[in-house]
Structure 1
């Protein structure tokens, strides 16, 4: 039985909601997808950036 869940954060709303969710101090296992880099860059510069693997972030500029 699989004990891990994969979260897909898509678009500005999905990425902002995901940011709030992971702010609770959990180990993020997520893929962030957005056509713009604004929100994903904000997440990676913020205090929870260490929770995310930069190779799991896909933007139009990736």
Structure 2
């Protein structure tokens, strides 16, 4: 995990090319469809390395 910087949900939405509300809805109703998050109090943060690995693991060929 990148110990220097954890990113917020706005960053994740931009990285995945979806709206912030999509990230919020997925986190509330389908958290298994998002990369693992770190919860710090009420804040939800994402490790960029974990997100990149999750993207690579979830890529589909021929789509």
Q: Which has the higher helix share?
A: 2
- TM-score over 0.5 for the pair: no
Higher strand share: 1
TM-score (normalised: structure 1): 0.28
TM-score by length of 2: 0.28
